[in-house]
Structure 1
Amino acid sequence: MFQNRFGAVARLAELGCVLAALTLAAATAARADGCPKPGDEIATDRPDVTNSSIVVPVGSLQNENGINLTGRSSGRSIDGSNSRWRLGIAPCLEVLVDLPSYVSTVKSPGASGFSDVAPGIKWQISPLPGKLDLSITAGVALPTGAAEIAGRGAQPYVQLPWSWELHDGWGVSGMFTEFFRPAELTGRHMSEATFVIEKKLTERISVFTEYVGDYPDGARPTQLINSGGLYRITPTQQVDFHVAFGLNRNSPNTIVGLGYSFRVDGLFR
């Protein structure tokens, strides 16, 4: 018991160090000439689980939304609108917030309710040589939703999304995430790893295939293969879809999702 508590405290201390480093880095911000500009195409954190390694431009507000239908052996559930708001506040720096989504069972008895609201901050460290982009995100899910859906207490997290542009429209990306749940009796920590192979078919159409693995302490992992695509209606509007399949018994059988995102530029003029 003592070791578990000590481990939780140590992880929170590590999170505090990361937040402090992030604040210091944001204060010294990266070179503005390498940061996203309002004329750039929209880059979203969906439809794949892997978030974009690119932040939104300064003075731009981006809204990302989606709905998912999840199938398990015990039944089905639907959740939405999975809304994330992102605001560029400085070169290579944005603040973001995940609004509560409603989860409802469709064919089986189970918990229904809202997820937590989760504010965060994201700093784009790159670009680095070789067209490698890297960001760091730190946030916390606040205990505003139903405990049966979102869990108990505040739940901090730290993410490292990255991407590497290859040739002929090909690219690879991924993300490492550490979730902390200090208020839970078990499963107080979970690691997540993703890896994506993507292809830009045209100037407006892209497709991807992604591996997603969640590895909680003291429990079996969940593993998914997630594939889908996106279509940019305009440089600042996007529609997308994805279909995921579970790779083990602990994972959902299928997940099907649709989404729409848009960005408004020039708010700070």
Structure 2
Amino acid sequence: MSGRIFQICLPSAFLLLWAAADARADACPTAKDEIATDRPDVTNSSLVVPVGSLQNENGVNLTARDDGQTIDGTNSRWRLGVAPCLELLVDLPTYFANVRGPGSSGFADVSPAIKWQVSPVPGKIDLSLVFGAALPTGAASIAGRGAQPYVQMPWSWELQDGWGLSGMFTEFFHPSDFTTNRITETTFAIEKKIGERASLFVEYVGDYPEGANPSQFLNSGGLYRLTPTQQVDFHVALGLNRNSPSYIAGIGYSFRLDGLFAGLPR
């Protein structure tokens, strides 16, 4: 039922988002703004990429759980600004390699989505809405079975002296999974800017499957902007209960290409 509702609502939502985004064009991100990524924290950016800009975000993680270890990469997300305050994004299949202990290896699903920045007013709480779905293209042992739609709401609030708060609420739907049809994920992060180019963060992440015990971990890390459109980052996460990984460590690199549409500055 959840999947059918998602399929019915998505076309109407797309038209609504497009019209609203066009009305707020003057307040939306532009190529003059610095790169804002959905990594290295789990909490995605509440900002979209500028119109005519293509952003590529990549990373590699080492995860330890019980007696096993896995490496996953490249965690590539492509984001394209198609209208003011509106972007299309896609998560490319990530390969999970089991390097020690019990576990499976294989690719995750490809996951397209649409993102609308609802509140592009400077000084206020920024909020975005994301509608997407993981398509059944990867290994079932890694990604699960069937299409998996999701709805997501990342938000952020800039405070004084370089401090900021952010968080995200996500509902993942698994229509083909007879044991867990829905997973609710909540995040909350505190960020501090260090100079003009760097920032550090601490983040709580909780996954709450329907009818099962939650998974919770504490994530921390930072980023450094090499240029206004290039960024390197790192993060380290520690599990808070038995259902969580023991630890996750990762690094990443992201870049943005501007002016891809005719009439826009490069």
- The TM tier, using the shorter chain, reads over 0.9
Q: TM-score, normalised by structure 1?
A: 0.94
Aligned to 2:62: 69
CA distance in structure 1 between the aligned counterparts of 2:146 and 2:225, rounded to whole angstroms: 38
How big is the shift at 1:12?
A: 4.2
Which of 29, 42, 55 is equivalent to 1:49?
Answer: 42
Unaligned runs of 5+ in 1: 1-8
Matches within 5 A, 1:1-20: 9-10=1-2, 12-13=4-5, 16-17=8-9, 20=12
Q: Deviations over 1:92-131 (max 9, x none)?
A: 0000000000001111132100000000000001124742
2:52 counterpart of 1:59: yes
Query: What percent identity do the matched residue pairs reach?
Result: 69
After the TM superposition, list the runs of 4 or more consecutive aligned residues in structure 1 that deviate by more than 4 angstroms.
none
2:12 counterpart of 1:27: no
Unaligned runs of 5+ in 2: none
Aligned to 1:142: 135
CA distance in structure 2 between the aligned counterparts of 1:165 and 1:15, rounded to whole angstroms: 35
SS class of match (1:106): strand
Task: Provide the aligned C-alpha RMSD in A.
Answer: 1.4
How big is the shift at 1:11?
A: 6.6
Letter in structure 1 aligned against 2:194:
L
CA distance in structure 2 between the aligned counterparts of 1:59 and 1:127, rounded to whole angstroms: 18
2:254 counterpart of 1:261: yes
SS class of match (1:54): coil
Greater CA deviation, 209-218 or 129-138?
129-138
Q: Deviations over 1:6-57 (max 9, x none)?
A: xxx1574267436623431323324111000001000000000000000000
- Number of paired residues? 261
CA distance in structure 2 between the aligned counterparts of 1:246 and 1:216, rounded to whole angstroms: 16
Greater CA deviation, 196-205 or 13-22?
13-22
CA distance in structure 2 between the aligned counterparts of 1:190 and 1:48, rounded to whole angstroms: 19
Q: TM-score, normalised by structure 2?
A: 0.95
* Native 8 Å contact 2:172 2:182 kept in 1: yes
Aligned to 1:5: none
CA distance in structure 2 between the aligned counterparts of 1:11 and 1:183, rounded to whole angstroms: 9
CA distance in structure 2 between the aligned counterparts of 1:217 and 1:15, rounded to whole angstroms: 22
Aligned to 1:209: 202
How big is the shift at 1:264?
A: 0.3
